[in-house]
Amino acid sequence: MNDLELDPTFSQAFRTALVDEVALGKRPRRRRVWLGAVFAGILLATGAGGVATATLMSPPGMPAYEQFGEKVTATLTETGTLDLGAPPEGATSISFTVVCHTEGSWSLEGYGGANCSEVGIGSARSGTIPLTLSQQSIVLFELQPGTEVTVTAAYSKKIKTEFGVNAAGETYGSGVGDPDDTRTYAMNENPGPDLIAAHATNCKTGYIRWEEENEASGGNISSFEEVTEWMENEVHLDKYIPVYESDGTTVIGEFLIAGQPRPGQPLTALPPCPSGQ
């Protein structure tokens, strides 16, 4: 087995990022109160033989990316490319990390881009792009003039991971995606785990109970009168529900479901969490 040693920045970025992959995940429910954008996918680093040699932990059920072959790193001061070589058998995507060293912006076909001022100088932004006929071994990063970034990329493959199960028999994990894409879910049916990974207002990470989030978000409304009442009043109210540890009983904080602002009123915002939380 040929062990692969991960670059610390590359590893940390996969632990805390892939935000865009998460944010684009589809949860087939009739309203969307997104919970999981703060959680990362998992990178399973592999040697040349395809055997996993390192795992970056995230909530159970989170999309995972198995790395193929060696990573390629380059520092760019203008629009440039990374050549990853021929795609290895089994690879379906390219996972990458970009660290900004100056003000400016960068973009990548099939992904979009980021403004270094918003991401933060020295901070990393990570994501994945699928392998397509136009996107194979050469990865083109377009930079705004005057921008300097370090980019790291490697071939990867998206794999499914299982939800965790606590002592009470409840499933817990990421609310991203559909655990069974072979069936259609009813309007008020939970397609994910019983306990969904979320950030509390105190910046602690834990899990919220699906039934409590569903009720606070109006998921139990069934009549026209209830809908009218909800749209006139309840939809504008901030709701807080408990955040638990994976046991589903130990409360570690609260999760905010922000109400829809009335005209002229701001949306309730939370202060940013410290870096790494």
Coil vs helix vs strand at 100: strand
| pLDDT (mean) for 173-201 | 70
Stronger pLDDT, 173 or 119, i.e. the higher one: 173
Burial category of 19 from C-beta neighbours within 10 Å (exposed 0-12, middle 13-18, buried 19 and up): middle
Per-domain residue ranges for the chain? 8-159, 164-257
Q: Is the pTM of this model over 0.85?
A: no
Say if residue 29's pLDDT is above 80: no
Stronger pLDDT, 12 or 273, i.e. the higher one: 273
Residue recorded with tokens 């919970």: 35
pLDDT value of residue 90: 85
pLDDT single digits (tens) 241-267: 999 999 999 999 999 988 888 888 888
pLDDT value of residue 192: 78
Say if residue 145's pLDDT is above 80: yes
pLDDT single digits (tens) 49-103: 333 323 334 678 777 778 887 899 999 999 998 898 888 888 888 989 999 999 9
Contact 26, 178 (CB under 8 A): yes
Contact 253, 204 (CB under 8 A): yes
pLDDT value of residue 33: 32
pLDDT value of residue 31: 31
Tokens coding 252: 């570690």
Instruction: Give the amino acid at 200.
Output: A
**What pLDDT band is residue 144 in, cutting at 50, 70 and 90?**
very high
Give the Cα separation of 81 and 87 in Å (integer): 16
pLDDT value of residue 246: 94
